[in-house]
Structure 1
Amino acid sequence: VGFTATSPATAKPYKAAEIYSKQTYKYGRYEIRMRVAKGSGVLSTFFTYKNGSEQPGTFWEEIDIEIFGKNNATQWQSNVIIGTNRPTTKTEGVHTTPFSMGDGYHTYVLEWTPNYIAWYVDGTQTRRITGG
């Protein structure tokens, strides 16, 4: 089966970064200062992830901040994904800000302790979940 392009592909002026560590970290305060991208279909993220979580039978562990580029980048999602069965357990929460997170730099924080996980934007706690 062949593929014929009807128009030439062009590079987009998008930039991205990833910080990856071979060191395992658990509880703590994870903080980033970033300016997110605006636009439909664009997602700017900051998350923790356990290596190998995508493997069958492995316990998936992930804590997310996901900023949606749509709607002028005024909405974001906090989430914890855990479990060994697919689909995994998710605790999604969607939040709206009174400003565009793409108009400037903002500070996002994940605070993970043995008793709770909390999410902050610019020093204001937006969500907290408690439990194991």
Structure 2
Amino acid sequence: MGARVHRTEAMIAGMAPRLQPGLWAFHTVDAAALTPDLLARAAGAFREEEGLSLILPAAPGEALAMAQITLQVHSALDGVGLTAAASGALAAEGIPANVVAANHHDHIFVPAEMAEAALRALTALAAEHAT
């Protein structure tokens, strides 16, 4: 893993979006329903007032199955502009996006049927900012 990237232009140019296998769904669970197995299957978790939000593998026929696109750049946690640029490019194409910033990478969840269009939009954005 390379060094964290801080500069906005470098983060955008180096984001190298990659579509991950599988589909995901966002769910809220009560603390009493949380099991080690459920937590182990989660791609992510966040505690909210309403309960624990989990990103879980989508069940067949899930109403809103989401594809995961990972931005491969090792973006700095205090970096400015990557999330705004990526979500702006997707918004310009009418693609909803749920962004999760983790310690090493940003992950963008988009409706499954829009995944390829989202990947194209993000790849084009990176190319526009390449030096």
TM-score range, shorter chain: under 0.3
Higher strand share: 1
| Larger radius of gyration between Structure 1 and Structure 2 | 1
Q: Which has the higher contact order (CA 8 A, sep 6+)?
A: 2
- TM-score calculated relative to the size of structure 2: 0.27
When normalised by structure 1's length, the TM-score is 0.27
